[in-house]
Amino acid sequence: MTQLEEARKGSITEEMKFIAEREGIDTEKLRRNVAKGYTVIFRNVRHDWVMPVAVGEGVRVKVNANIGTSRDIVDVKAEIEKAKVAVKYGADTIMDLSTGGNLDEIRRTIMHAVDVPVGTVPIYQAAEEMLAKGKAIIEMTEEDMWRAVEKHFRDGVDYTTIHVGVTKEVVEKMKRTKRAVGMVSRGGTFLAAWILHWGEENPFYKDYDYLLELAREYDVVLSLGDGLRPGGLPDAGDELQMAELYTLGRLVKRAREAGVQTMVEGPGHIPIDQIAAQVKLAKVATDNAPFYVLGPIVTDIFPGYDHITAAIGGAIAALNGADFLCYVTPAEHLGLPNVEHVREGVIAAKIAAHAVNLTRFEADFKKDYLMALARGKLNWARQYELSMDKERFIEIRKERPTKTEACSMCGDLCAIKLINDMLAGERE
């Protein structure tokens, strides 16, 4: 049985107990949220060495980090290093988006290299296998697509992005809808092109019940992909995005009825003043399904700094109900990220998530409270202990001016300590 089905029976699974203890929350409350579909638990029944993670209502905002090879660069060791660095700096899950090399071997290697849940996009492998045969992606058969999905589920992936909402109807809407950027989802584009070429319905939408059967067998969380997310601010909230969202809302209901855990993916690029409304609309349209957002990115003109533009959007989105933030690296829109880009992307997304989590969980706020006390006492050792990125702390501290180089700075610090000591003495 799936976590959702167990929760509906009133059963508290070992995964629920583990998560409740780790999150510091009531186990029964977690069970109720899982039973309603408001919270999902990542743990494929075949991924028995992974630490389960919960996303949704009543738990902390989580962060995902994407890694993966490309057709041009197949360096599995580098991707493993990225995965480990991402987890080290706070990523709660990893998504393997590999499109080059032996994809089966790469996926399995990544899954054994980290102890966090792993997600994938199976359509990438189906497309890559066509290219490897010297064929066009649109020559994929329905069997090719389903084979990839089944393979990923059997391998133990904990959640998969399936672009079920890219339907024949919405593809027809694309023909009459002008967009500044067009379609930017790789998986969504593959399916839209396939639909246009063959004139057939999206197999994952047409045979959604079969997808649910497979997901239920392995207790894979279906992440209903936003194939029509806006790829630029001018396209935010357009007809295509909304049409797909309402389709996903209906599919969430069907998944829950089948006992399958489901979450919904969201945009994308959104003007900062639209984020709150879009998140709340998505929550209503999907009956409070866990909401997984990429960013959102709040401005398009800072390439190289998209980890920052995404962190701004992510914090606002999470404050208004988003549950899961996909990191964005400085290399977004420019190229493949290196290890340092992964570190920066994870830290930026983690800042956004923590900024919201500390308003919800007393234990999280306590960390910031203790840091404030350490700063008030100029206790550098304690500040180091409490720092989320200790390496960065040391890097900056090594660059600080010495007393002889900057007496005025030292004097300011001494004055701060003097005043704070006096205040502390008066309080005592």
For residue 269, say whether it is annotated as part of any ligand binding site.
yes
Helix axes 168-176, 186-198, angle to 10 degrees: 90
Alpha-carbon distance of 425 to 428, in angstroms, equals: 5
CA distances from 106 to 76, 92, 100 (A): 7, 20, 9
Gyration radius (Cα) of the chain, Å: 23
Residues sharing a CB contact under 8 Å with residue 50, sequence separation 6 or more, in sequence order: 42, 43, 44, 111, 115, 116, 117, 118, 156, 158
**Residues of 43-56 as b/e, b for ≥16 C-beta within 10 angstroms?**
bbebbeebebbbbb
For residue 218, say whether it is annotated as part of any ligand binding site.
no
Strand 62-67 relative to strand 93-96: parallel, antiparallel, unpaired?
Answer: parallel
For residue 47, say whether it is annotated as part of any ligand binding site.
no
For residue 292, say whether it is annotated as part of any ligand binding site.
yes
Alpha-carbon distance of 319 to 245, in angstroms, equals: 20
For residue 210, say whether it is annotated as part of any ligand binding site.
no
For residue 66, say whether it is annotated as part of any ligand binding site.
yes
For residue 326, say whether it is annotated as part of any ligand binding site.
no
For residue 229, say whether it is annotated as part of any ligand binding site.
yes
For residue 354, say whether it is annotated as part of any ligand binding site.
no
For residue 414, say whether it is annotated as part of any ligand binding site.
yes
Alpha-carbon distance of 274 to 316, in angstroms, equals: 10
For residue 325, say whether it is annotated as part of any ligand binding site.
no
Cβ contact 235:291 at 8 Å: no
Alpha-carbon distance of 257 to 253, in angstroms, equals: 6
Alpha-carbon distance of 427 to 69, in angstroms, equals: 58
For residue 305, say whether it is annotated as part of any ligand binding site.
no
Q: Which residues contribute to the annotated binding site for substrate? A: 66, 95, 124, 163, 185-187, 226-229, 265, 292
Q: Which residues contribute to the annotated binding site for Zn(2+)? A: 269, 333
Q: Which residues contribute to the annotated binding site for [4Fe-4S] cluster? A: 407, 410, 414
Q: Which residues contribute to the annotated binding site? A: 66, 95, 124, 163, 185-187, 226-229, 265, 269, 292, 333, 407, 410, 414
